[in-house]
A and B are shown apart, each in its own frame.
Chain A
């Protein structure tokens, strides 16, 4: 149709303008009820379905995108939590390596999940939706061609009706003209007039045929495609949600396993902690616990303030370290800093003492660090190796020669006054711990 104006933009423009004018005119006539519209109710239903389908698809795509964004947010939040735990985790705690491996696996799993949904569901949805704009354009084109068809039809019918009228109209003036014309021109004018009307009539007929053909072509195409598309939507939805559900199921199953593992690690860590920590005892003065006869010792350990090597262990951490046996009455050359020491009575009781008393002997060559307790109650010695206590006595705690000898709740010590007097530990004895109080 546009061949006439090809290559000549002015011409083409003119034709397009013409087209639009004609269509607008036709539409006006239709609205005014002066021209009938070709209506296809069934087709309209198809178009309605099409629009609905496009709307559904668009919403689905939007929802999927939102879901993926939430997945990413969740992943980030999850990782930040994991980082908190990892940062706090000390190397000697149970399960550090497993924890790190777990964190890695979790991270990978999130990434895979996000990726697989993006690749499968979202991309498929994008592809599905990409065909809609084109079809929508074609529906619009069909509509325009339909208007063209209608207008050509009306034009033709009006020509048909008017043909007879025209013929009657031009008859009289033509007759006059005829009479005025020379003899050789007689009949030519009327013939010319007839030819003219016939020409436009034929033109209209041709136009009509062409418009009809174009329209029908588009119409049939769409009438095939639209229902097929409408039915295909079920398949698309099924695929989308099936694949989504499948990935979700897999993801959730795996994550559940990882969570279980984390739970196990935490439980074991808790157990490990329970074993180590214990509340510090604070018993009121009471009768001392029954004394057991000391068992024969297998090892004699030489413990005296006059040992050569220091045997003080120091740590900077508190009760999470493994139990240590610390002998306190060693020569410790302390160069200005005191160290915090854990004293483990081998019964899972842990005390942490943060102060020491340092005594130097007369020639200041040695510095002794003692644990110091104060008697809060009198205690009368009931045995030869027991220490007599009066309330207010300051007692320096020593370690047992043989740890096996030590009884529950009893400490070995030396009264400070004796130390001042004799500067040796010969006057040491055992005493009940709960009769004294840490200083």
Chain B
């Protein structure tokens, strides 16, 4: 950064030449100060962009977190209703039907699979998002702090400029103002540089987070669905066996006032008993 080394300690009244030199010096000084201002503006613009990105990132992150939690709840809902169906089937399944034991095994396996799926979603997705979103409040606090330090810096700068631009220059005051200015500058620059490095990195990290989340979820789903479809097939087969067991067994012979299911233990007629 160009330093303002051109002090205005010139002897007055040295003629036109001196005046010209003075002018060009002043202009250079002015430019330097302008550039100082411009640089600050630039940094602010860019920082403003970073800050906006940060806010957007936080909002997006919260949204994803909410949706991940909703997904987790939905999975639990599916588990619950699926379990109830299986339970009802187990209840209506009579002990002499084919495949009673198989059914019990299938029901058990399905339940385990669901539990596993739920647990993994909680660990890999919900926790991840929790950690991701929890880092934002702290960063935002630091951004706010930087803002405050910037204000301090600006005011110190204006004070210094005012003193330097005054008609009667008080060297002691200027020196003190310079010292304060430098201190404010350092404090600000420190936090500014920190954030300038960290914010882009943080912004970048969102991609990593999202990719991780969706990689995990697609992986979990893949495994879950494969296993579940296997269990579905097994249940299908059990049902087929049951159907075979019971097909053609129920028939009515008109004229007899009693049920005629040979499979049922409650009613038998002598005529049908012979068929066994």
Q: Contacting A256 at CB < 8 Å: which of B39, B210, B226, B235? A: B226
Whether B88 lies near A63 (C-beta < 8 A) is: yes
Q: Name B's interface SS.
A: helix
Interface string of B161-186 (1 = CB under 8 A from A): 00000000000000000000000000
Whether A246 lies near B211 (C-beta < 8 A) is: no
CB distance from A419 to the nearest CB of B (A): 12
A contact residues around B208 at 8 Å (CB): 273
B contact residues around A259 at 8 Å (CB): 218-219, 221-222, 225
A67 contacts the other chain (CB 8 A): yes
Whether B196 lies near A354 (C-beta < 8 A) is: yes
Known: A59-B88, A74-B74, A76-B74. A245 touches B233 (CB 8 A): yes
Q: How many residues of A contact B (CB 8 A)?
A: 77
Whether A256 lies near B92 (C-beta < 8 A) is: no
Interface string of B24-65 (1 = CB under 8 A from A): 000000010001001100110110000000000000100110
Whether B219 lies near A263 (C-beta < 8 A) is: yes
B contact residues around A224 at 8 Å (CB): 252, 254
Query: Which stretch in A201-209, A232-240, A325-333 binds the other chain?
Result: A232-240
A contact residues around B21 at 8 Å (CB): none
Query: Which stretch in A81-89, A172-180, A183-191, A428-436 binds the other chain?
Result: A81-89
Closest to A78 in B: B71
Known: A237-B92, A253-B229. A358 touches B35 (CB 8 A): yes
Number of A-B contacts (CB under 8 A): 193
B119 contacts the other chain (CB 8 A): no
CB distance from A242 to the nearest CB of B (A): 4
A320 contacts the other chain (CB 8 A): yes
Interface string of B201-220 (1 = CB under 8 A from A): 00110111011001101110
> For the side of the interface on B, what is the size category?
35 or more
Q: Contacting A85 at CB < 8 Å: which of B78, B89, B197, B214? A: B214
B contact residues around A263 at 8 Å (CB): 215, 218-219, 222
Q: Name A's interface SS.
A: helix
A15 contacts the other chain (CB 8 A): no
Tell me, in angstroms, the Cα distance from A71 to B81 when the chains sit together: 9
Tell me, in angstroms, the Cα distance from A338 to B208 when the chains sit together: 29
B144 contacts the other chain (CB 8 A): no
Q: Contacting A56 at CB < 8 Å: which of B92, B250, B259, B260? A: B92
Whether A357 lies near B218 (C-beta < 8 A) is: no
A391 contacts the other chain (CB 8 A): no
Q: Contacting B218 at CB < 8 Å: which of A87, A248, A252, A262? A: A262
Whether A73 lies near B74 (C-beta < 8 A) is: yes
CB distance from B52 to the nearest CB of A (A): 12
Q: Contacting A249 at CB < 8 Å: which of B97, B217, B233, B240? A: B233
CB distance from B206 to the nearest CB of A (A): 8
A contact residues around B104 at 8 Å (CB): none
B118 contacts the other chain (CB 8 A): no
Query: Which stretch in A3-11, A264-272, A294-302 binds the other chain?
Result: A264-272
Q: Contacting A242 at CB < 8 Å: which of B196, B197, B240? A: B240
CB distance from A335 to the nearest CB of B (A): 12
CB distance from A70 to the nearest CB of B (A): 4
B112 contacts the other chain (CB 8 A): no
Tell me, in angstroms, the Cα distance from A277 to B222 when the chains sit together: 29
CB distance from A432 to the nearest CB of B (A): 22
Whether B260 lies near A227 (C-beta < 8 A) is: yes
Whether A270 lies near B211 (C-beta < 8 A) is: yes
Interface string of A201-241 (1 = CB under 8 A from B): 00000000000000000001001101110111111011001
CB distance from B192 to the nearest CB of A (A): 10
Whether A277 lies near B204 (C-beta < 8 A) is: yes
Whether B250 lies near A231 (C-beta < 8 A) is: yes
B contact residues around A71 at 8 Å (CB): 78
The interface of chain B, by Cβ under 8 A from chain A, is: 1, 31, 35, 38-39, 42-43, 45-46, 60, 63-64, 67-68, 70-71, 73-75, 77-78, 80-82, 84-85, 88-89, 91-92, 97, 196-197, 200, 203-204, 206-208, 210-211, 214-215, 217-219, 221-222, 225-226, 228-229, 232-233, 235-236, 239-240, 242-243, 246, 249-250, 252, 254, 257-261, 264, 266-267
The interface of chain A, by Cβ under 8 A from chain B, is: 42, 45-46, 56, 59-60, 63-64, 66-67, 69-71, 73-74, 76-78, 80-81, 84-85, 87-88, 220, 223-224, 226-228, 230-235, 237-238, 241-242, 244-246, 248-253, 255-256, 259-260, 262-263, 266-267, 269-270, 273, 277, 280, 318-320, 336-338, 340, 352, 354-358, 360, 439
